[in-house]
Structure 1
Amino acid sequence: MGKEKKSKNRKRSRSRSRDEKRSRKRHNSSSSSSSDDNKLESKLSDERSRRKKERKLEKQRLKDTETAEERMLRRKEKKLKKDQKRKAAVETSIPDELAYTNLNNPFNDTKLTETFVWGKKLEREGKSHLSRKEIEKEARKRIERNLHEAQEFKRVRDARLAAREDMDMMQRDADRREVSNWDSKEQQFQLDQAKERSRIRIAQNRAKAIDILSRYIRYGDEDKTDEEKKNEEEFELEDPLSCLKDLTSDDYEDLIEDIKVYRRLEDDKHMSFWTDFRTIVDDELKKRREEDGRREGIHGSLKTEVMAMFKV
């Protein structure tokens, strides 16, 4: 039993000594870390003080070397910065939306940001007991309310103007459609008149080439009105090229102009027919002009003799 007690005591003493060593190590490490932190903090403070001293020396050097104008400008800037800081610290009754200052406002009022206190009015309204701060707060709320109402009025006005512009645009579109309808009606009227003139000339046996061609292409139309079907007379279909016989150069030119009119009035209708026939008429006109030139020109042999005479 005695031996066991002694062994237990030895173990306890050993464990106690180990714990003490560990605590000493922790204390030493913490003390070393705290000392390192203190050293770092001292270094940083020394560095800050050094930089501050350098800035101060640099500032003093600039002051010593500056001219009178630079000194005046520097002092004005410094004063302006101080005024701005002071104004920013003081609460004003002017909302931020207005962006007015004592130096920049359309009223040239150097005390614009200061709240005007009307003592008699406050007494009449029973508000003479209010403090300066409360009066400024009420004034600010009143101005903000007025600004909100003004913005609402502006929004309503803009909406009214937008609605009016929409109505004007709709009216312009309606007018444009109506004008386009008038143009189409006028074009149809001119086409009907051209057809009527052709019908009258054919009935009076003085038909032109364009009248024969117009009657030829109208014969196969499926969109003819009842009146056109009623007034339509029977005729014998012939080759449309037969109307080009025995035409003079003037007749060909008149026919070209008439084809242009029909192409413009009928839009895309019968476009291929008029295009092909215009090509034929142009070719016939070219041939006719060549024939007329040969008739009116001088024979080749005579022309050579005349040129030889002039050369001599």
Structure 2
Amino acid sequence: MGKSSRSSSRRRRSDDSESESSSEYDSESDISDSSPNRRSSKRRDRSSRRSSRRRESDYSESERGKKRKSSRDISEDEIAAYMAKKAQKKAMRVAKKLKSQTVAGYSNASNPFGDSNLNEKFVWKKKIERDVSQGAKLDDFSIKAEKKRQRERMAEIEKVKKRREERALEKAQHEEEMALLARERARAEFQDWEKKEEEFHFDQSKVRSEIRLREGRAKPIDILTKHLHGSEDLDIELNEPYMVFKGLTVREMEELRDDIKMHLDLDTETPTHVEYWKALLIVCDWELGEARRKDALDRAHVRGEEPPAELLAEERGLHSSIEVDVREYLQKKTYKELENIHSGVESQLRYGTAKVVEFWEVILKRIHIYKAMAFLKEYHTKMLRKHLQRLEEHPDIEDRYVATDALSPIPEEEAENDDTRAISPEVMVQEEAIEPEEEAGSFSPQLLHGDDDEDAIDPEEDRAALERRRLAALQEQQRRRQQAMASKPAPSEDNFEIKAMKVMGSMEEGDAVFGSGSEVNLDSEVYWWHDKYRPRKPKYFNRVHTGYEWNKYNQTHYDHDNPPPKIVQGYKFNIFYPDLVDKSKAPTYTIEKDGTSSETCIIRFHAGPPYEDIAFRIVNKEWEYSHKKGFKCTFERGILHVYFNFKRYRYRR
């Protein structure tokens, strides 16, 4: 088709050139001829041109006929390929026109896809061929259509970005919530651990307190704990719990206050225990303040200085002359009476019916101290009654106690006739009221100080010193009594029948001895404790400690790359005895000679039934018995620990 059009155009150009040359030749010849000839020649030229045009039109019509004939021979596949190629070229032109430096905010250099040709638009030729073959229009590949698709893609990309940011935010919030939950869980576990640790230390403090009480070296907090719990194995305290503060120094009282505060925080077994420790804390704060005040006055007196004004200042509404009257008025009241007085004073001050407001305000400040003392006194009385009742129910308990002059037991006749009078708090108050009568010297004339430098005995100081001496004597007596109790052997089975007859009483009419020859033989049975107490070897977990010494010889012949041979330097033995029959006797060990070699010896451990002796062969060297050198020999919680190292000999010239 293209070749035929080109040949026809060449022919037209050759015909035109021939006609032009003939016309030029005729024009030149006409110049020489006349004008009529010239006109005739022009006519001939026109006719020749018309003929040539007719020939050209005929030729073009023949060419068009050929073209129509050739178009009928083109197949559909060729047309589809032509259209697809045209669509591809159009898509390539659109891609070049829409090329940009960044795509969705990403460039070739920085993008999360690792694509270095990101800004070059990809033309999917196969897809274009498929779309065209399926009837897609060429307008779908235009710039306008591509821009519309690009806007849709960008909108989708923005949605994806938004969803990604939302997921990231949700993930961060979830991680933060999980971290918060983990912290709360860790905090709760830590609080639980802390509480368990405090409970463990509290239990250990009670164990230490009981050990100190048994060994006769009790602290003030141990006496207060014994007042609260009581024990059949220990003596009962005859003095009220608040009497333990008498004679203590400021430092001892501060330590006692810390112990009371710890018991108040941890000993919450019953409300009575909490009230007991609260009352003791109130009394301790009062006694501590008075002790600090008195120490400050004593220091000022010793140094010859004037006491601070705040120490000499009297409380508003409470003169020193009526201090004794207030103390006697409140001290004789019971806890319920003090509660009524407290509520009455508060109501008077609230409604303004009190006549002397300052006085009752001070009474209101002091009454909580006497309420605490009254509570402790009543609780102590209750414990004394329980102890007396226990003695009456079990007379053999009296054999455990050793009577002393200061703490003589209550006669049985007086206990039977008037039990309440023997342990009532009023008797103790009367006894305390007798002491100031003997010491205060109220009937003697008042001492006139001729000189300010003269020394005189302060009645309050003398009374406190006397109370300290009495408390020291009482503690010494208790210590001796507990030592006597510890040294007293356990009652044997010889006097079992005597005690049984004492409890049952004398035989009456109709009574007979039962048991002699009346025992029934039972079938043999394997008990649950049979395997527990069968003879067996104890379990053990031992360790040998080896090493080498850098003495002169080893330093000469060896180095760190080639160390000297190791030698045994010590042993650690852990022998388990959880089921000892007699747990009052600790296991022991002995060293025996080894008959096979003089360089070794035998260490034998003996504990008693149900455990057999166990022995080990060890190196025969001299031991280090110093705790600083690692020696340890203890038996606690059913485990015998024997740790020791051998002596190291150092030679000197």
What range describes the TM-score normalised by the shorter chain of this pair?
Answer: 0.3 to 0.5
Q: Which has the larger radius of gyration?
A: 2
Q: Which has the higher strand share?
A: 2
| Higher RCO (CA 8 Å, separation ≥ 6 residues) | 1
Q: TM-score, normalised by structure 2?
A: 0.24
